[in-house]
Copies of this chain bind each other. A is one copy, B any other.
Amino acid sequence: MEKRNANGLTEKEFLAQYNPGDYKRPSVTVDILVLGMNEKLDGLKVLLIRRKDHPFMDCWALAGGFVEYDESTYRAAVRELYEETGLSDIYLEQLYTMSQPYRDPRMRVIDVAYIALIPVVEAHAGSDASEAAWFDVSMTDEEMILKNETLQVEMRYLLEKKVFHNGILQIENYVPKLQSEEALAFDHAEIVMEGLLRIRNKVEYTDIAFNLMPQEFTLPDLQKVYEILLGKTLYKTNFRDKIQDKVVALDKKGISVTGGKKSLLYRYKNRY
């Protein structure tokens, strides 16, 4: 602590005289990509909020807001998620930081995007003020589609490969190109795309999928979730072999989402 710098100052003295300067600084926001399975477990849903002012007025956007001066972005994401949707105690992981200088026409904004996963999309439409809605989302190699049947809204994006100046492909592998009348606000389409890729990938080597399940679930339902996330069908024998040590059988039965014979209920082993 006795160390002195080139000007002969100790750390304490240095910090006391430190002037951060009058540079223009960007605002910092968080956005949360809230994902959940739909009722039939045959597709993913995203929670979107309709903007009520410029810019991107009337467009659909991810939940989000400004980061307070003395909170971490993770805390801000937890707080905003609760304020805007009433959701709490759910899986939340940092996704990507968006920083293009003119991504917001009002001012310079750095946006830290998070992914939230929720078990089965139930009520919680609550969300006090803002107009929120769940959209079916799907993504192939060529396009990404978000739609809400009851609202008659469909947003469609073409995925274009993006190659960098040095010929090396970056995280930002694809850029979504708008193909429909309606569009997501800001660069939120990119966030959705990145989020779907992240989830898809993480299913393979983590237990992330369990965050999309209720406390108790049947194996056929769990398999359906895996199949949607991975984008391919699985063989039940193999599937059961692989996950058998991750789940515990309960001695009661439940009805799987698509009728038929009753199925044994399980819960996730490592949680709770």
Residues of A within 8 A of B (CB): 3, 5-6, 9-11, 14-15, 18, 20, 23-28, 52-55, 57-58, 66-67, 69-74, 89-94, 96-97, 99-101, 105-108, 110, 112, 166-168, 170-171, 201, 204-205, 211, 271-272
Q: Which residues of B contact A23 (CB under 8 A)?
A: 27, 66, 69
> A94-B171, A272-B167 known; A54 and B15 CB under 8 Å?
yes
Q: Which of B10, B71, B93, B271 interacts with A171 by CB under 8 Å?
A: B93
Q: Which residues of B contact A110 (CB under 8 A)?
A: 28, 73, 110, 112
Write the chain B residue with the least CB distance to A72: B99
Interface of chain A: mostly helix, strand, loop or mixed: loop
Q: Which residues of B contact A5 (CB under 8 A)?
A: 52-54, 57
Q: Do residues A101 and B89 form an inter-chain contact, with CB atoms below 8 A?
A: no
A271 to B171, CA, bound (A): 16
Q: Do residues B6 and A167 form an inter-chain contact, with CB atoms below 8 A?
A: no
> A20-B27, A99-B67, A171-B94 known; A15 and B55 CB under 8 Å?
yes
A193 to B205, CA, bound (A): 19
Listed by A's residue number, 13 A-B pairs whose Cβ atoms lie within 8 Å are A5-B53, A9-B54, A15-B106, A25-B69, A28-B110, A70-B108, A71-B101, A72-B99, A74-B99, A93-B170, A99-B112, A167-B272, A201-B205
